[in-house]
């Protein structure tokens, strides 16, 4: 019995290691596309009143891109014996860039969505960066700056060795693990610290406003917002930082089972937006149910009026 059990475990572990990343690609793509479709429906089209929707749409797109880099390579390496990073010069440059660009863009979009919530909670009037034009400018700047930051992959990275195989490093310098160290700060540590600061500020101002009854008549769900912020930040810490630390300081070839498990946790984080919105975002849940049940919806989210007639507090997640 013990020998049969051992053989069964040895056969099961590689199958899980191979097909879980593939399942993440399929399920994550579908869930993020579904999130994007719901956020483009009539309820969320008035982005002048709800500019935060632009951040949510952009995050859904980059979370899809995130699944097609190292995550897909885990499946390809086990089942087909190659990875995209060393398959050809073209795939090496594209996916070397994508591995960092998608994750860093997704993380900084989450930082600025937390910043936007903080401004909305701490001020009675929206500053320019919380209005639609400002949000679009911020999203464009994030994408452009992160793309320029990783542009060296297209210029310097990847060359053929003498034996015909592809080296993903650059001839002038060694990209790996240097860029893994940098990615730890740009993708994990700095965004996490900023999210904690902004989200703490959001919770503080919501508690303060609740106590002073400024939003007594509003439809903002104080408890739901706080729970969403805590869950998002906690998941980011638990699911992404360990994998990036291992990649930067403890990477080995072949990849250890622990590194694969942590990688799977990291990429699982990027498919959590849909269930998180579904649980904590009432309008999103309602629109999802209407779409599934094929009910037409002509309503739109209207900003909640507060006690002061000339001010507005935008609806939050």
Please name the helix (run of DSSP H) or strand (run of DSSP E) that holds residue 7, with its range, or none. helix 2-39
Residue 308 has what pLDDT?
A: 31
Q: Which segments within the chain are labelled E, that is strand?
A: 157-160, 166-170, 304-305, 312-313
Neighbours of 61 (CB within 10 A): 17
Give residue-wise pLDDT tens across range 207-258. Answer: 776 666 554 444 444 455 556 667 887 888 888 888 888 877 776 666 666 7
According to DSSP, the residues that pair with 170 across neighbouring strands are: 157
Distance CA 32, CA 18 (A): 22
Residue 79: predicted pLDDT = 87
Provide the residue ranges of all domains of the chain, joining segments of one domain with +.
14-293
Catalogue the long-range contacts made by 161-164 (C-beta closer than 8 Å, 24 or more residues apart).
Answer: none
CA distance 252 to 171: 22
CATH 1.20.1070.10 assigned to 14-293: yes
pLDDT in tens, 169-186: 998 888 988 999 999 999
Report whether pLDDT(10) > 60: no
- pLDDT at residue 315, rounded to an integer: 42
Check residue 261 and give its pLDDT: 81
Q: What is the pLDDT of residue 112?
A: 92
């Amino acid at each position: 019995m013990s020998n049969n059990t051992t053989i069964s475990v040895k056969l099961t572990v590689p199958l899980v290691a191979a097909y879980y990343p593939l399942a993440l690609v399929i399920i994550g793509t579908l869930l993020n596309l579904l999130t994007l479709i719901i956020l483009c429906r009539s309820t969320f089209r008035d982005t002048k009143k709800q500019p935060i929707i632009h951040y949510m749409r952009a995050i859904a797109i980059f979370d899809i891109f995130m699944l097609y880099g190292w995550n897909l390579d885990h499946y390809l390496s086990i089942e087909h014996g190659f990875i995209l990073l060393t398959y050809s010069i073209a795939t090496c440059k594209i996916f070397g860039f994508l591995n960092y660009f998608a994750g860093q863009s997704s993380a900084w979009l989450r930082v600025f969505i937390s910043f936007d919530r903080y401004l909305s909670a701490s001020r009675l009037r929206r500053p320019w960066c919380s209005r639609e034009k400002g949000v679009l400018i911020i999203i464009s700047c994030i994408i452009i700056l992160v793309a320029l930051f990783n542009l060296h992959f297209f210029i310097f990275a990847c060359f053929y060795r003498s034996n015909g195989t592809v080296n993903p490093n650059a001839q002038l310098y060694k990209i790996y693990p240097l860029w893994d160290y940098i990615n730890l700060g740009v993708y994990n540590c700095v965004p996490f610290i900023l999210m904690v600061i902004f989200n703490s500020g959001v919770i503080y101002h919501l508690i303060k406003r609740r106590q002073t009854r400024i939003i007594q008549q509003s439809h903002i769900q104080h408890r739901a917002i706080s729970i969403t912020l805590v869950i998002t930040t906690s998941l980011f810490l638990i699911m992404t930082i360990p994998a990036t630390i291992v990649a930067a300081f403890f990477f080995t070839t072949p990849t250890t089972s622990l590194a694969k498990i942590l990688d799977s946790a990291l990429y699982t984080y990027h498919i959590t937006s849909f269930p998180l919105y579904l649980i904590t975002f009432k309008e999103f849940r309602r629109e999802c149910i209407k779409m599934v049940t094929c009910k037409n919806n002509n309503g739109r989210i209207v900003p909640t009026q507060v006690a002061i007639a000339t001010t507005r507090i935008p609806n939050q997640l």
